[in-house]
Each structure stands twice: as structure tokens, then as C-alpha cells.
Amino acid sequence: MYNFDFVKPATLDEAVAALGGEDAQPLSGGQTLLPSMKQRLNAPGVLISLTGIAALKGVKLEGRTLVIGAATPHAVVATEAASVYPALAALAGGIGDPAVRNRGTIGGSLANNDPSACYPAAALGSGATIVTNTREIAADDFFTGMFETALEQGEIITAVKFPVPEKAAYLKFQQPASRFALTGAYVAKYQDGVRVAITGASEGGVFRWTEAEEALNRSFTAEALNGLSLPAEGMMGDLHGTPAYRAHLCAVMTRRAVTAAG
């Protein structure tokens, strides 16, 4: 890893100011950024740690909306969201392993938008709102492609607002070595409709499966999805699974998620 300057501000304002400097990048849990810097895929000149900013941490319920601070570790979401939004808590508790969950954060996961990550599916599947230091971005507009988001240079995610659904479930077919989703489906039923988000499949990153949503709006049952499938074209292919295999898994995991949501 190339050397860099390290700063750890105590407030969001200081962090925003520091990020205005040349070659600066935010560091949250570091569970993605530090490995990529070791591989020299990334070499910022200054790292601005967000872990010392108390305002970016915590889980709170505002009406029927769960608000999670961007620098809240996965392990904290797994316990503190459990009673209000169990599907989201279970997703957080299934990321990586305990040590990864103690450091890795929701803001880092969303900003990174790994095409096989779990949180992007929860945000898109819940119709969440990503709050930054300058604006609010609907999840539908936030994820713009593999490892790409609507974030501007120097913009910091401060919180994520999740409307709490009537029921929901996330089912991932785990890639056994990394524990990322080989393919995963997040299904959430709201009063005004069902949302289905698929991760670990498309070359464009997380996406909504609208045909499945329409079918589930008519009947929220696994059977309602019978006969529905996604094309292999545009799906990721690697040594863990071909595009056709992933396309198949999309339907299987969505059906399982509907059943699990009950």
C-alpha cells in the first residue's frame, strides 16, 4: 500500500472540508478500501476517517422509517434493527464474518456498490433514501452501474432511510469462499406495492425485477412467479457461475425470499 496522510475529524463539517482537498477519499470501515489499496487498485493521497464522527452512527426509528447512520457497522444494524426491520437486520448479520461486521459500515457498502454486495439490494428493495451532506437521493437513482453511484466527488453519505415494509426477506445464495452473494434477492411488500431487488447477477449491478414485482402485486406467493425468468444476456459470468446459472438463480432466490417473507 502506498503511503498517505491520515485525518480523523470529529464532525461532518470538518470531514466535508477535508474532502475538498486534492486526492482525498473517505474511509469508513476500511473492509473494502484497505484491501483495494493494498492491491494498489486505489491510492488516495489523504484518507479522511469517518469513524470518529458520532453523528454518523446509530439506528433510530422515526415514525415508520428506520434511519441508519452511514458509519454504523453491520453488527450494530444486525442487533439494533432486529425488532423493527428483521429482514434488514438479518441481511446485515449475514455479511462476511463477525470481524468484518464489526468494522464494515452501511455507508461504505452503498458507496462502493459492489455488484455482489448485500446492502444495495436492501436499499433498492426497500425504496430507501440515501442522505448525503448535500441532498437526498432515492435508491432508484443512486445505483448507476457496477461500482458506480450518483455520488459526486467529495460527497459523503450521512444516513440511509428505510421505510419499514409489511414483510420482507433477503435470500442470498452464498459464494462459500467470500460469503458475498453469488446471487441474492431482496423482496419487500409495502402497502403500495412489492419491490424486488436482485444483487450478484447483472453486469450493471443491483437492479429491480419489475416483472416479478407485477406478479407479486397480483398475488404475494412463490407460485405467482412460476414461469417468470430473466435472460442470461447481461448477467455476470465467472468461475463461480455462468450467466445462465445466475439468471436461473435470480428466479430461485426470489421465490425463496417470497416464501421466507411469509
Ligand X SMILES: Cc1cc2nc3c(=O)[nH]c(=O)nc-3n(C[C@H](O)[C@H](O)[C@H](O)COP(=O)(O)OP(=O)(O)OC[C@H]3O[C@@H](n4cnc5c(N)ncnc54)[C@H](O)[C@@H]3O)c2cc1C
Q: How far is CA 114 from the centre of its chain?
A: 8
What is the rounded distance in angstroms from the CA atom of residue 38 to the CA atom of residue 42?
A: 8
Is residue 82 a contact residue for other proteins (CB under 8 A)?
no
What is the rounded distance in angstroms from the CA atom of residue 17 to the CA atom of residue 154?
A: 9
C-beta closer to other proteins: residue 240 or 246: 240
Options 16, 18, 70, 78; binder of ligand X; rule CB under 6 A: 70
Options 16, 18, 24, 47; binder of other proteins; rule CB under 8 A: 47
Options 100, 146, 150, 222; binder of ligand X; rule CB under 6 A: 100
Q: Stretches 176-184, 186-194, 229-237, 244-252: which one binds ligand X (CB under 6 A)? A: 176-184
> What does 76 bind: ligand X, other proteins, none (CB cut-off 5 to 8 Å by kind)?
none
Pairing assessment for the beta strands 46-49 and 24-27 based on DSSP bridges: parallel
Report, in Å, the least distance between residue 147 CB and ligand X.
9
Is residue 30 a contact residue for other proteins (CB under 8 A)?
yes
> Nearest CA to 157 among 149, 166, 146?
149
Please answer whether residues 122 and 129 qualify as being in contact, where contact means their C-beta atoms are separated by less than 8 angstroms: no
Q: Stretches 84-92, 137-145, 172-180, 239-247: which one binds other proteins (CB under 8 A)? A: 172-180
Binding pattern for the stretch 84-103 against other proteins, x by CB under 8 A and - elsewhere: ------------xxxxx-xx
Sheet containing strand 207-208, strands side by side: 167-174, 181-190, 193-199, 207-208
**Residues of span 197-236 touching ligand X by CB under 6 A:** none
Distances (CA, A) of 59 to 9, 52, 83, 85: 21, 16, 12, 11
**Residues of span 139-158 touching ligand X by CB under 6 A:** 151, 156-157
Options 16, 50, 89, 128; binder of ligand X; rule CB under 6 A: 50
> Nearest CA to 32 among 89, 113, 93?
113
> Nearest CA to 6 among 38, 36, 51?
51
C-beta closer to ligand X: residue 55 or 222: 55
157 sits in the region (left: phi over 0; alpha: psi -120 to 50; else beta) called: beta
What is the binding site for other proteins (CB under 8 A)? 1-6, 8, 27, 30-31, 34-35, 37-38, 47, 49, 51, 75, 96-100, 102-103, 177-179
What is the binding site for ligand X (CB under 6 A)? 25-33, 50, 70, 95-96, 100, 104-105, 107-109, 111-112, 114, 117-119, 151, 156-157, 178-180
